């Protein structure tokens, strides 16, 4: 498995973000976007942004500060932050943020019918042995 610091995301010639990768591009997912990002100490978001139709939640490993609509508040290890689609957001690593996982999904896209999306099967579950992923 490669280190996030080895990734480079190019939005445009003027906006290049080191240490960030979009899961949908790597795995061809179609239902949500999930960027993973590493921020070095004192590094922050490349730009303040919002979305038209997508809200996000962030899972943080480390300490930092988050800005939403001009309000700045601390985020601690294990924090989960939900951000509405139109909220202006940015964050900064003020400690040792090792990884940020952001899940981005369309507002109101999960309905009551989705609670019954799983299909159950009869049968024995075979033993699964996990080894180090490469």
Q: What 3-state class would DSSP assign to 126?
A: coil
**Computed from CA positions of residues 65, 97, 80, 31, in that sequence, does the dihedral angle turn out positive or negative?**
positive
Question: Where does the pLDDT of residue 2 fall: very low under 50, low under 70, confident under 90, or very high at 90 and above?
Answer: low
pLDDT tens-place string over residues 25-76: 777 888 888 887 878 888 888 789 999 999 998 888 888 899 999 999 998 8
- Report pLDDT for 54: 92
Q: Which two tokens stand for residue 55?
A: 């809200």
Q: What 3-state class would DSSP assign to 20?
A: strand
The domain ranges of the chain are: 4-108
State how far the alpha carbon of 120 is from the alpha carbons of 110, 111, 116, 128, in Å. Answer: 20, 20, 10, 19
> Rounded to two decimals, what is the model's pTM?
0.68
Highest CATH level, class, for 4-108: mainly beta
* Average predicted confidence (pLDDT) for the chain: 82
């Amino acid at each position: 498995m490669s280190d996030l610091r080895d990734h480079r995301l190019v939005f445009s010639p003027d906006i290049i973000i080191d240490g960030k990768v979009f899961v949908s591009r790597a795995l061809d997912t179609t239902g949500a976007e999930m960027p993973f990002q590493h921020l070095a100490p004192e590094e922050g978001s490349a730009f303040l942004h919002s979305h038209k139709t997508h809200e996000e939640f962030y899972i943080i490993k480390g300490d930092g500060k988050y800005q939403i609509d001009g309000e700045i508040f601390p985020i601690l290890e294990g924090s989960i932050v939900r951000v509405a689609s139109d909220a202006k957001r940015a964050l900064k690593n003020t400690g040792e943020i090792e990884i940020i996982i952001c899940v981005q999904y369309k507002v109101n896209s999960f309905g009551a019918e989705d609670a019954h999306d799983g299909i159950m099967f009869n049968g024995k579950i075979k033993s699964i042995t996990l080894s180090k992923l490469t």
